[in-house]
């Protein structure tokens, strides 16, 4: 898709889990309006809003059972009850990894036709992972670029790796081996990181490529925690991507 000849959407639907802290949804709304010139509609609790019979069971079925194998099993009744509680009562999600591809496919089925045609992003605390063909195990992901796109704030904390020496250090020495402050849950820097990942979802829709190979660009594909701080938290779109955003902002859909 060429950003200069085809503008793929005129509105952004932005869903936030109500459990997310240290993010001002209205600041993010203003940020996206400024960067894209598009209408932004802020909504909350995607699954609660889209709840239907059997949804909790379908969600439970996407759980990762084996980190080295992409294989799904029928959920136990207790697992279904837990998912119902998460959806209906905002129960905290602890340590569960969901298959990102399966979860996005399920979410897509819940979208309205307008949400499919426009750009929809779900920002969640759920941990999402994927097992690619060239990988030996599931990896936690920060963002799934799809319809809808999905950003995991838990994934921003737990996905990008810390230096190898960190994992071999004793618990009371772990922080001493780092020369930077890693992302944490309820981090004050989370909003900045989410903004950058939102721009990645925009460029995925514009060009099919959400990433940039330039250091300090907010679209850099960061695999390490230190890179997330440098690129997503402290970085801005590079000159090339800034120009593309300006062009996108000026163009309107036919």
- Check whether domain 11-250 has CATH 3.40.390.10, yes or no: yes
Cβ-contact 104, 1 below 8 angstroms: no
Q: What pLDDT, on the 0 to 100 scale, is given for residue 166?
A: 83
**Residues 58 and 74: beta-carbon distance below 8 Å:** no
- H-helix or E-strand spanning residue 140: strand 139-141
Domain segments of the chain as ranges: 11-250
DSSP string, 7-33: ---SEEEEEE-TT--S--HHHHHHHHH
Whether 25 has a pLDDT exceeding 90, the answer reads: yes
- pLDDT of 119: 98
Contact 207, 1 (CB under 8 A): yes
Quote the percentage of the chain above a pLDDT of 70.
96
Q: Which of 236, 232, 234, 229 is nearest to 179 (CA)?
A: 229
**So what's the pLDDT on residue 252?**
66
Q: What is the pLDDT of residue 6?
A: 60
In the predicted model, is pLDDT for residue 20 greater than 70? Answer: yes
- What integer pLDDT is reported at residue 4 of this predicted model? 42
């Amino acid at each position: 898709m060429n950003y200069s000849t085809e503008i793929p959407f005129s509105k952004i639907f932005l869903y936030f889990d109500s459990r997310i802290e240290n993010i001002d949804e209205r600041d993010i709304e203003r940020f996206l309006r400024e960067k894209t010139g598009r209408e932004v509609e802020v909504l909350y609790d995607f699954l609660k809003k889209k709840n239907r019979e059997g949804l909790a069971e379908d969600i439970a079925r996407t759980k990762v059972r084996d980190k080295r194998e992409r294989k799904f099993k029928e959920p136990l009744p207790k697992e279904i009850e837990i998912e119902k509680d998460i959806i209906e009562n905002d129960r905290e999600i602890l340590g569960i990894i969901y298959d990102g591809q399966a979860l996005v496919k399920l979410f897509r089925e819940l979208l309205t036709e307008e949400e499919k045609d426009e750009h929809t992003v779900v920002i969640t605390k759920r941990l999402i992972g994927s097992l690619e063909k060239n990988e030996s195990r599931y990896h936690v992901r920060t963002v799934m670029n799809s319809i809808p796109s999905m950003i995991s704030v838990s994934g921003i904390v737990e996905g990008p790796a810390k230096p190898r020496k960190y994992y071999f250090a004793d618990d009371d020495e772990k922080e001493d081996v780092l020369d930077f402050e890693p992302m944490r849950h309820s981090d004050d820097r989370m909003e900045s990181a989410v903004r950058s990942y939102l721009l990645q979802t925009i460029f995925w829709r514009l060009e099919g490529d959400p990433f940039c190979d330039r250091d300090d660009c907010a679209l850099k594909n960061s695999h390490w925690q230190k890179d997330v701080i440098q690129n997503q938290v402290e970085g801005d779109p590079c000159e090339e991507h800034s120009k593309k955003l300006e062009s996108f902002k000026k163009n309107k859909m036919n």
